[in-house]
Amino acid sequence: MLTPRLPALVMITLTSALAALTSPRLAAAEGGGAMVPDWQNPQALHEGTEPPAATMTVFADAASALTFDATRSPWVRSLNGEWKYHWAATPKERVANFWRSDFDDAAWKTIRVPSNPEVEGYGVPIYTNIAYPWKPVNPPLIPDDALNHVSAYRRSFTVPAEWAGREVYLTFDGVNSFFTLWLNGKKLGFSKDSRTPATFRLTPHLRTGENQLAVEVFRWCDGSYLEDQDFWRLSGIFRDVTLWSTPTVHVRDFRVRTLLDPAYRDATLDLTLNLQNRGANARTVKLEMVVNDPAGKEVLRQTLPDAAVAADDSAELHASARVVNPQKWSAEIPQLYTLLITAKDEHGALLEVIPWRVGFRSVEIRDGQLLVNGMPTLFRGVNRHEWDPDLGQVMTRARMIEDIRLMKQHNINAVRTCHYPNVPLWYALCDEYGLYVIDEANIESHGMGYGEASLARHAEWGPAHLDRTVRMFERDKNHACIITWSLGNEAGFGENFVRTYEWLKAADPTRPVQYEGDRSTRVSDIVCPMYPNPATVRNYADLPRTKPFIMCEYAHAMGNSTGDIWAYWRPIYAGTRHLQGGYIWDWVDQGLRTPVPASRKIERLENPKSIPLDPKLGTFFAYGGTFGPPDVASDGNFCANGLINADRRPHPGLAEVKKAYQPIQIVAGDLAKTEVELQNWFDFLPAEAWLEGEWSVTSEGETLQRGPIDGLKLAPRARQRIALPVKSLSPVPGREYFLEVRFTLRSNTPWADAGHEVAWEQFELPWSAPAPIAEGTSGGKLTLQREGDRVAVRGDGFAATFSQKTGLLVSLTSGEIELLEAPLMPHFWRAPVDNDRGSHMPSTEPAKSFWQPGGMGAWRDAHTTWSARAVHVREGAGGRIEIEVDGMIGKFESRQRLAWTVLPSGDVVVETTYFPSEKPHPEMPRFGMQTTLRAGFDQLAWLGKGPHETYWDRQSARVGLYRGTVAEQFFPYIKPQETGNKEAVRWIALTDAHGRGVLAIGDPLLSANALHATTEDLFAATQKENFYPYQLPDRKTVTLNLDLKQRGVGGDDSWGALPHAEYRLATWPTTYRYRLHVLRGGENLEELGRARLK
């Protein structure tokens, strides 16, 4: 089927959009006056650029085209590499006439292209979230100050001889922000949108032999008002630069659509071609499309009618073909067909071959749900900024594949390209590996607010809004992975977005469009809020809806975060209609790797190259406020919200995300019969097609039984109850037994090897025998000695000494070895995590009333106001020594009782109760006790959840027996904070190399932590103050916390949201109990931990 043109509506709107791309500059400033500079004119968008088109590579033959390797094309040359470079601090200081062919650049340095100059040692990297990094803010004007750096680039090239008589183009995939191009001294034009390509036709201005390119790049321009994203403000030629050639008549653009029938079985392949003839004579082009299936077998070959293209003109062709039951593309099964578009001239001579990978899939919204290939898909998503710790915003293929593999390995199936179109290769990789993508236009004007000043409401900014949307669509329209278009982010709402929505819906009726800034959803087919609380999510689904609810941002993963993500997913897995997941903010910390200063103090640096690297000191990850003078705009470490560090080391919280996102959800059946119930939340893959199931019975880290899960028949969205063939056993007294169920990859995939764990669950089995009773009297008789204001209790190989003044344990010895560096005493404070800083948890605001109890920071030093009102020492039954302390937390005038019971066996039983007074109390961050162990007791073992850190609201981890060093418990968040905690601890032991030390046994469970850093070492009150891991003291002592609980880490957002109420400590009378056992070396920790005292 041939059609001479697109449907009328699409053609009209497309024509007007393309006109906007090349609209003339304003003649003068409003009211008359001087000419408005191009770089401050919001209606001067591009000059001399080609109309936007789909990503494509031109090959000389089908064999090379099938490789998809641009280096195999004789018509493509990369201009990446070393360019001559000059940096100017301001526009006024830029080099004049450097674009002239005879300009002498011998004294210039070179810079790598692509790169960000600020990362390479030129100028100041700036990070802000909302505020524009220049003043005054007066769009479209940009101040001509010292921060608007200007980069000048020069590069020569020679056109290959075989390109003679052909068209030659130059494409810049990304330049930030306003750049002008000259060729051989001739100005070709300029462009502004930093995240979509700008292509220039070079042909009329080329010369034989060497040609000279010159590029001038302003860091900021009027377009920067639309690029106010939450990221580092960097500049330069930061994406690929490509020289390429076509025949005089060629395929300028193409569009592929795959239209599935109502049964989602057969498909229509719909192809639209735009042909361009740059020659002086009319031409006839013969076109053919060939489609190969994923195995390389040809399934379609269709010759199109000859296309006549007039001289210096263009023409469009439309073709369609039916494909019977093609393999469908999805993130689960990313099946890709290969389309070859072949063009020949009138005589049958081959002109070009253009390959494309086609995914047959459909996207639609029906009955308030978003359907992929007819299935209401769950989006286990994440937002992703383009970031490299060493290259800044320059992306490499290896880094992108690393990200995709990590995402897939952690059950992430969807990505939002926050908040701009990513490099073209990203989409090809998402097509290949299987990730759903929200493609977002490069529009964010957050700093203008959402009211009347919003640029979305001002007509003069309309062309720029539309331009950026059109260019995104035209470049990326053929990718199967893109299931939704986004109009932008945090840019207010107004008529400019209405027009971009209308254009997109006319141009592409096959995909939904979303925009979070439109609360009315007039221009959003999806309700896509940011950071709703879980109650809001549930409430949406309580009423009839016509649009799906998919959070564009949620679970702000800043630092030690992602607490209680299950609150969002429990209703989803309960089958609540309309709720289809969301996109966590965000994927990677935007930290710049920077050498540690020799002073190990905070120093004002110009950029990461300001000081040399000392291998002994190493590097750290810099964030906002690290670089430039003190008055440079900064939002601190708010750029570090990732599930992974900048170097791609996963945060401990990513394990929680992987668990919540796992596609096989597992719940307990009748555990007495070792039954479990499975549900497959995939949409297209039966579990047995790609996973192997395994069950095991474990106890105290030991696997006692294991076997495969036979009879697995779990279709998409189906449930299956399975009774596992577990053999009965005689439980050992005091041991707990767990049933573990896990699913692993059956075979190798591009993103993980066979055996990679996809899903798991652990259940405590109802098997038990009463714990062995320890009399506590073994080990001989205790002696009690009073030494001044101290009471020393000595037994066989140990001694415990208490202060009669404070009532605290001040000394604990194993043999002659002292264990304690500081007393064991009540403790209520935790080092703030980033979410605490955002909610002002460290605030010391005074209490005003019972309902306004003041800041939680009052607890920071509350332990120092402990005093003992009375200390009673007596000998108890069975030879034990009992010390009862009636204490007071002076800061809150609250009583706290401490009871110490020392047993001949080397055990010290500890019990404490807090009695809040009538005085207003802020929430207690933690309830427990803290001591410091002397250096050397750094070998750690625990029976509890692990191996990674866990918290009250983030503890999807297996109960097991884990070992390591204290140093290994510290996670290097970009900004030091609370880290290393362990939940559901049965026992925890700290020992030296000889096994001497202390064992703490919960009664029944503890929340425990052991770090070299002290709580105070890790303190920083706000997100904006700079504080780096290299500033921490190099301690060898061990800070040990033995707690009932500390508050959850939270994570609904990082600027006010508290941990959910069920994970916070209320100020009621609170009691807990545990015991210490002095280790002499060689003991069986598991046996000691099982025993319960009589």
Q: What are the pLDDT digits (tens) for 464-480?
A: 999 999 999 999 999 99
CATH superfamily of 371-584: Glycosidases (3.20.20.80)
Closest-CA residue to 393 (of 185, 231, 515) = 231
Contact at 8 Å (CB) between 1069 and 914? yes
Return the pLDDT at 920: 86
Q: Dihedral through CA 862, CA 868, CA 874, CA 875, nearest 10?
A: 20
Residues facing residue 898 across a β-bridge:
885, 912
Task: Report residues of the chain scoring pLDDT below 70.
Answer: 1-34, 776-777
If we measure between CA atoms, which residue out of 983, 817, 998, 795 comes closest to residue 902?
A: 795
Angle at 500 between CA 497 and CA 501, to 5 degrees: 85
Give the C-alpha separation, 790 to 799, whole Å.
12
pLDDT at residue 696, as a whole number: 98
Rounded CA separation 1068/914 (Å): 8
Which distant-in-sequence residues (6+ apart) come within 8 Å of 650 by Cβ? 406, 410, 643, 644
Name residue 584's amino acid. Answer: I
- Return the amino acid letter for 482: I
Residue whose C-alpha is closest to residue 1010's, from 981, 974, 1049: 981
Closest CA to 412 of 436, 386, 391, 392: 436
Q: What residue has token string 């278009």?
A: 485
197 close to 171: Cβ distance less than 8 angstroms: yes
- Cα 366 to the chain's mean position, in Å? 30
Between CA 747 and CA 761 the distance in angstroms is 21
Name the CATH architecture for the domain at 249-358: Sandwich (2.60)
Domains of the chain by residue range: 8-246, 249-358, 371-584, 592-638, 662-764, 774-1093
What would be the CATH architecture of the domain defined by 774-1093? Distorted Sandwich (2.70)
Farthest-apart Cα atoms in the chain, separation: 112
Task: Tell me if residue 1087 falls in helix, strand or coil.
Answer: helix
CB atoms within 10 A of CB 972: 16
pLDDT of residue 380: 98
According to CATH, the topology of domain 662-764 is Immunoglobulin-like (2.60.40)
**Tokens of residue 343, six digits:** 């063009």
Q: Is the peptide bond before 571 cis (omega within 30 degrees of 0)?
A: no
Say how many CA atoms lie within 13 Å of 1059 toward its Cβ.
Answer: 28
Q: For residue 622, how many other CB atoms are within 10 A of its CB? A: 27
Residue 23 confidence (pLDDT) = 37
- Distance in Å from the first CA to the final CA of the chain: 88
CATH number of 8-246: 2.60.120.260
The tally of CA atoms less than 13 A away on the side-chain side of residue 404 is: 26
Query: What is the pairing mode between strands 1070-1080 and 996-1011?
Result: antiparallel
Asked if domains 249-358 and 662-764 share a fold, the reply is yes
Distance from C-alpha of 1030 to C-alpha of 1020, rounded to nearest angstrom: 14
d(CA 477, CA 1039): 56
**pLDDT, position 34:** 63
Residues 650, 632 contacting (CB under 8 angstroms): no
Query: In sequence order, what DSSP letters do the residues of 134-191 get, joined into one string?
Result: SSS-BTTB---STTS-EEEEEEEEE--GGGTTSEEEEEES-EESEEEEEETTEEEEEE
Tokens of 1003: 């009664």
Catalytically active residues are: 490, 553
